[in-house]
Amino acid sequence: MVTAPVVEVHGLRMRYGARTVLDGIDFRLDRGEVVALLGPNGAGKTTTIEVLEGFRRPDAGEIRVLGEAPETAGDAWRARIGVVLQSWRDHARWRVGPLLEQFATLYLPYAASTGRQPHDVAELLDLVGLSGHRGALVRSLSGGQRRRLDVAIGLIGRPELLFLDEPTTGFDPVARHEFHELIHALSDFDDTTVLLTTHDLAEAEKIAGRILILDRGVIVADGSPAELARAVPSASEISWREDGVRQVHSAVDAEPFVRELLARTDVTVTELVVRAQTLEETYLAMIAKEDAR
Ligand SMILES: Nc1ncnc2c1ncn2[C@@H]1O[C@H](COP(=O)(O)OP(=O)(O)OP(=O)(O)O)[C@@H](O)[C@H]1O
Nearest CA to ligand 1 atom 11: 42
- Mean pLDDT for 224-229 is 88
- For residue 50, the ligand 1 atom closest to its alpha carbon is 18
- Mean pLDDT for 62-91 is 89
Task: Check residues 7 and 231 and name the one with the higher pLDDT.
Answer: 7
Q: What is the percent of the chain where pLDDT is above 90?
A: 68
Report DSSP state, residue 80: T
pLDDT digits (tens, 9 = 90+) for 251-278: 888 899 999 999 999 999 999 999 988 8
pLDDT digits (tens, 9 = 90+) for 160-206: 999 999 988 888 898 889 889 989 988 888 899 999 999 999 999 99
Alpha-carbon distance values, 171 to 35, 138, 143, 194 (Å): 20, 16, 8, 19
User: What's the pLDDT score for residue 2?
Assistant: 62
Mean pLDDT over the full length of the chain: 91
Burial 241-276 (b: 16+ CB within 10 A, else e): eeeeeeeeeeeeebeebbeebeeeeeeeeeeeeeee
Amino acid at 24: G
Task: Check residues 231 and 8 and name the one with the higher pLDDT.
Answer: 8
Strand residues in the chain grouped as ranges (E): 7-16, 19-29, 34-38, 60-65, 81-84, 161-165, 193-197, 210-215, 218-223, 236-242, 245-251, 269-275
Contact between 194 and 187 (Cβ < 8 Å): yes
Residue 1 has pLDDT above 70, yes or no: no
Residue 5 has pLDDT above 90, yes or no: yes
Residue 88 has pLDDT above 70, yes or no: no
Distance of alpha carbon 164 from alpha carbon 270, whole angstroms: 43
Burial class of residue 206, CB neighbours in 10 A (0-12, 13-18, 19+): middle
Distance of alpha carbon 274 from alpha carbon 10, whole angstroms: 40
- For residue 40, the ligand 1 atom closest to its alpha carbon is 25
- Mean pLDDT for 12-36 is 95
Residue 102 has pLDDT above 70, yes or no: yes
Distance of alpha carbon 37 from alpha carbon 222, whole angstroms: 9
Mutate to test the pocket of ligand 1, among 12, 13, 16, 214 (most ligand atoms within 8 A of CB): 16
Distance of alpha carbon 120 from alpha carbon 186, whole angstroms: 16
Contacts of 72 (CB under 8 A, 6+ apart): none
Q: What is the percent of the chain where pLDDT is above 70?
A: 98
- What structural domains and CATH numbers belong to the chain? 7-224 (3.40.50.300), 230-291 (no CATH)
Residue 28 has pLDDT above 70, yes or no: yes
- For residue 47, the ligand 1 atom closest to its alpha carbon is 18
Residue 89 has pLDDT above 80, yes or no: no
Residue 93 has pLDDT above 90, yes or no: no
Q: Helices H, strands E: what count in the chain?
A: 11, 12
pLDDT band at 289 (very low <50, low <70, confident <90, very high): confident
Amino acid at 157: G
Ligand 1 centroid–CA 196 distance in Å is 16
pLDDT digits (tens, 9 = 90+) for 201-217: 999 999 999 999 999 99
pLDDT digits (tens, 9 = 90+) for 227-240: 888 888 888 899 99
Q: Nearest-5° angle of CA 31, CA 51, CA 37?
A: 55
> Which residues form ligand 1's pocket by a CB distance below 6 Å?
16, 21, 39, 41-47
User: What's the pLDDT score for residue 152?
Assistant: 93
User: What pTM was computed for the model?
Assistant: 0.88
Ligand 1 centroid–CA 42 distance in Å is 5
pLDDT band at 140 (very low <50, low <70, confident <90, very high): very high
